[in-house]
């Protein structure tokens, strides 16, 4: 029997490793920028073309590399970060496994120019698919300049599965934001197709947060700080009034590294219990410092999941820190009596002799509020004469058991849940129950319709038809409102602008991520336009859709939910009739676009059984 096990060629092994480390253009930027930070760079430039498909360039002013190091850096498991297994448990740097550059070179064309400060000339290396094309001396600044072209050129299957440019650029901005938030002392620039998206000078953490996400979020932050022998926690949490259903910015960093941690997220959100509505989120930027030997950062290929040795204890400390921050913010304002040795700043009211008399309370000891005569000096008969007969206010307002909706009229089409006999004898006598359900009788029993879900179903179909036909009606606003977006949000907005225009929005760019809302879809009067536009963009980013139909569905559903009838809204007979008729005109009236039931039928036999005893 012949042997079947053999060693893979280095090029194939590197491509397999690239599948773990380099998943998309954003992964390349993450690895290269983190290497620049480890090299001590104080200024880093990132330039991408076509969302990284054509080229990615990272330029830094770090320490650079020698000629030998520059060549070894592209070999697998070559690293300057660790020398023995014990070093894995005392990591102070970002990248350490020695696979990033080898993985990038395996699936792209890479060009590197680098120079040490002690050298007059630098090194210029060109690789393609892990193969060395050329290596020579060159004149270049101190630091490193990586240029990555034609990513996944030799792995067409991987390149085919890349998302649209808008989605990939959004992923790049997400990775970039995670890095810049935890390195405020480093200045960054980011260019996309020669257009500058970010120009971030070195700053404090709070200034960096405001520079990335806007000044408004900087005004909504509460500082937190705690220092224990186990962990040091610094950062900012959002004020309760800044809570929102979508689009909150939530970041955990440990020892200068971004991480996801659902368990610690729960600790933060539990502190907001009873302070924010259920289902809403707040932004937070929390920086943890722990002993490197107490965490394991190598449990995930992208190192975004980290295991802690004392998770339960850290959970308690984190929860207490957030509650303390909220407590200080929510404290009742008091007058500051600390006059710092200046008693004359606090005036004192006294008499000429330097004495003051406290205020006195005067009351009538013989007053009796239950007296029926003039006892206590209070004439009760006069009050009786002025009392209102409240029963007269209810005359003519008797509650009737049913509300008729007018002449009998059969809807254009029946839902699948209705049998043909039900459709033939459907009655339009409608009754609203608890401000939520519309009740009507059918031959087989009693039908209950959720008014909010029914309206969502109707509006969703209308908006989808408007997008398809570009027949929406836009209503101009007298005083345009200004909406501010971060670069990542503005990128997503531009990708869905055509569909938003088709729905009825008119947005005009003002520069710097600001847009003026000059027109809104007709029929959404009274809604908060700024929040609605933000919600549509946040939902599109959350879904990360690249298929046009899916993006259109997201926009239509978000707008339908915002404009639909709310629970508790009282409907007239005509409004109920119109809603039910429109619902049964839909192709799928039984369910919302998300698959939730719109109506239910209680069979007559089931109702009779309730009264059989």
Q: What beta strand segments (E) does 463-598 contain? A: 474-484, 506-511, 514-521
Maximum mean pLDDT: which of 274-278, 358-362, 474-478: 274-278
Sequential DSSP letters for 13-62: HHHHHHHHH-SSHHHHHHHHHHHHHHTT-SEEEEEEEGGGTSEEEEEE-S
- 232-251 confidence digits (pLDDT tens): 999 999 999 888 887 789 99
Angle at alpha carbon of residue 192, lines to 187 and 193, rounded to 5°: 135
**Residues 184 and 177: beta-carbon distance below 8 Å:** no
Q: What is the pTM of this model?
A: 0.66
pLDDT, position 344: 46
pLDDT, position 175: 93
Query: Distance between CA 498 and CA 333 in Å, rounded?
Result: 49
pLDDT, position 129: 87
Report the pLDDT averaged over residues 87-109.
Answer: 67
pLDDT, position 455: 94
**Whether residue 6 has pLDDT greater than 50:** yes
Sheet arrangement for strand 514-521: 474-484, 514-521, 506-511
- Where does the pLDDT of residue 608 fall: very low under 50, low under 70, confident under 90, or very high at 90 and above? confident
* Per-chain mean pLDDT for the chain: 79
CA torsion through residues 406, 410, 413, 418, sign: positive
pLDDT, position 403: 37
pLDDT, position 97: 41
Task: State residue 431 phi and psi, 5-degree precision.
Answer: -140, 130
**Whether residue 227 has pLDDT greater than 90:** yes
pLDDT, position 338: 44
The separation between CA 362 and the C-alpha centre of its own chain, rounded to angstroms, equals: 58
Angle between helices 529-543 and 548-563 (to 10 degrees): 140
Maximum mean pLDDT: which of 109-118, 469-478, 585-594: 109-118
**Whether residue 396 has pLDDT greater than 80:** no
* More confident of the two residues 186 and 241: 186
CA torsion through residues 118, 120, 126, 131, sign: negative
**Whether residue 372 has pLDDT greater than 70:** no
Classify 523 in phi/psi space as left (phi over 0), alpha (psi -120 to 50) or beta: left
**Whether residue 348 has pLDDT greater than 70:** no
CA torsion through residues 539, 507, 200, 325, sign: negative
Convert 377-443 into a string of H (helix), E (strand) and C (coil): HCCHHHHHHHCCCHHHHHCCCCCCCCCCCCCCCCCCCCCCCCCHHHHHCCCCCCEEECCCEEEEEEC
**Whether residue 300 has pLDDT greater than 90:** no
Report the pLDDT averaged over residues 1-5.
Answer: 64
Three-state DSSP at 272 gives coil
- Where does the pLDDT of residue 410 fall: very low under 50, low under 70, confident under 90, or very high at 90 and above? very low
**Whether residue 363 has pLDDT greater than 80:** no
Query: Distance between CA 64 and CA 582 in Å, rounded?
Result: 68
Query: Distance between CA 320 and CA 511 in Å, rounded?
Result: 42
Based on the number of CB atoms within 10 Å of its own CB, is 237 exposed (0-12), middle (13-18) or buried (19 or more)?
buried
- 503-554 confidence digits (pLDDT tens): 788 899 988 788 999 888 876 766 788 888 888 888 777 766 555 666 678 7
- 108-162 confidence digits (pLDDT tens): 999 999 999 999 999 999 999 889 999 999 999 999 999 999 999 988 888 888 8
**Whether residue 400 has pLDDT greater than 80:** no
Query: Distance between CA 514 and CA 333 in Å, rounded?
Result: 35
CA atoms within 13 A on the CB side of 437: 13
**Residues 108 and 96: beta-carbon distance below 8 Å:** no
Lowest mean pLDDT among 228-242, 280-294, 375-389: 375-389
Report the pLDDT averaged over residues 436-443.
Answer: 88
* Beta-carbon contacts of residue 71 (< 8 Å; ≥ 6 apart): 123, 125, 132, 135
**Residues 148 and 108: beta-carbon distance below 8 Å:** yes
Query: Distance between CA 361 and CA 355 in Å, rounded?
Result: 19
Three-state DSSP at 498 gives helix
Nearest to 520, CA basis, from 474, 473, 463: 474
Pairing of strands 250-254, 284-289: parallel
* Beta-carbon contacts of residue 280 (< 8 Å; ≥ 6 apart): 243, 244, 245
Query: Distance between CA 63 and CA 115 in Å, rounded?
Result: 8
Nearest to 25, CA basis, from 158, 130, 125: 158
Maximum mean pLDDT: which of 269-278, 297-306, 419-428: 269-278
pLDDT, position 29: 94
pLDDT, position 10: 64
* Beta-carbon contacts of residue 378 (< 8 Å; ≥ 6 apart): 367, 368, 369, 371
Three-state DSSP at 146 gives strand
pLDDT, position 345: 46
Query: Distance between CA 312 and CA 247 in Å, rounded?
Result: 29
Query: Distance between CA 195 and CA 47 in Å, rounded?
Result: 9
- Where does the pLDDT of residue 15 fall: very low under 50, low under 70, confident under 90, or very high at 90 and above? low
**Whether residue 497 has pLDDT greater than 80:** yes
Convert 460-484 into a string of H (helix), E (strand) and C (coil): HHHHHHHHHHCCCCEEEEEEEEEEE
Lowest mean pLDDT among 239-248, 338-347, 447-456: 338-347
Report the pLDDT averaged over residues 52-68.
Answer: 94
Nearest to 224, CA basis, from 165, 283, 163: 283
């Amino acid at each position: 029997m012949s042997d079947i096990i053999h060693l893979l060629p280095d090029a194939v092994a590197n491509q397999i490793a690239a599948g773990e480390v380099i998943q998309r253009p954003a992964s390349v930027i993450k690895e290269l920028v983190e290497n620049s930070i480890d090299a001590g760079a104080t200024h880093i430039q990132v330039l991408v073309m076509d969302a990284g498909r054509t080229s990615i360039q990272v330029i830094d002013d770090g320490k650079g590399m020698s000629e030998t190091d520059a060549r070894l850096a592209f070999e697998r498991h070559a690293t300057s970060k660790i020398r023995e297994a014990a070093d894995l448990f005392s990591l102070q740097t970002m990248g350490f496994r020695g696979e990033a550059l080898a993985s990038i070179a395996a699936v792209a064309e890479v060009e590197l120019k680098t120079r040490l400060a002690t050298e007059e000339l630098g090194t210029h290396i060109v690789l393609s698919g892990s193969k060395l094309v050329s290596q020579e001396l060159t004149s270049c600044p101190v630091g490193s300049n990586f240029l990555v072209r034609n990513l996944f050129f030799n792995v067409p299957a991987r390149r085919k599965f890349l998302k649209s440019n808008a989605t990939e650029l959004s992923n790049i901005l997400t990775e970039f934001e995670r890095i810049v938030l935890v390195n405020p002392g480093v200045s960054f620039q980011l260019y996309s197709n020669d257009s500058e998206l970010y120009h971030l000078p070195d700053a404090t953490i709070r200034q960096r947060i405001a520079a990335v996400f806007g000044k408004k979020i900087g005004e909504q932050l509460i500082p937190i700080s705690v220092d224990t022998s186990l962990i040091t926690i610094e950062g900012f949490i959002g004020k309760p009034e800044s809570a929102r259903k979508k689009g909150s910015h939530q970041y955990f960093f440990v020892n200068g590294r971004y991480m996801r941690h659902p368990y610690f997220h729960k600790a933060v959100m539990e502190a907001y219990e009873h302070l924010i509505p259920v289902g809403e989120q707040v932004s937070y930027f929390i920086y943890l410092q722990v002993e490197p030997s107490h965490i394991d950062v190598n449990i995930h290929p992208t190192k975004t999941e980290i295991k802690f040795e004392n998770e339960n204890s850290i959970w308690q400390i984190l929860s207490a820190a957030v509650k303390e921050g909220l407590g200080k913010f929510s404290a009742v304002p008091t007058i500051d009596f600390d006059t710092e040795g200046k008693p004359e700043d606090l005036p004192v009211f006294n008499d000429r002799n330097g004495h003051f008399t406290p205020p006195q309370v005067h009351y009538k000891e013989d007053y009796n509020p239950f007296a029926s005569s003039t006892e206590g000096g209070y004439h009760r008969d006069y009050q009786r004469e002025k009392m209102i007969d409240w029963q007269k206010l209810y005359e003519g307002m008797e509650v009737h058991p049913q509300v008729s909706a007018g002449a009998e009229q059969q809807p254009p089409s029946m839902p699948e849940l209705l049998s043909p006999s039900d459709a033939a004898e459907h009655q339009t006598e409608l009754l609203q129950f608890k401000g939520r359900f519309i009740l009507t009788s059918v031959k087989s029993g009693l039908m209950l319709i959720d008014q909010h879900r029914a309206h969502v179903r109707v509006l969703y179909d209308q908006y989808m038809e408007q997008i398809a036909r570009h027949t929406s009606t836009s209503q101009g606003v007298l005083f345009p409102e200004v909406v501010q977006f971060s670069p990542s949000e503005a990128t997503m907005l531009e990708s869905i602008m055509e569909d938003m225009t088709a729905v009825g929005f008119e947005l005009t760019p003002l520069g710097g991520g600001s847009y003026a809302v000059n027109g809104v879809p007709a029929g959404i009067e009274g809604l908060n336009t700024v929040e609605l536009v933000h919600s549509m963009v946040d939902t599109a980013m959350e879904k990360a859709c690249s298929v046009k139909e899916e993006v259109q569905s997201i926009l239509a559903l978000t707008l339908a939910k915002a404009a639909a009838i709310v629970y508790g809204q009282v409907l007239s007979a005509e409004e109920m009739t119109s809603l039910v008729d429109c619902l049964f005109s839909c192709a799928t009236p039984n369910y919302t676009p998300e698959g939730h039931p719109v109506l239910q039928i209680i069979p007559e036999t089931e109702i009779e059984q309730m009264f059989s005893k």
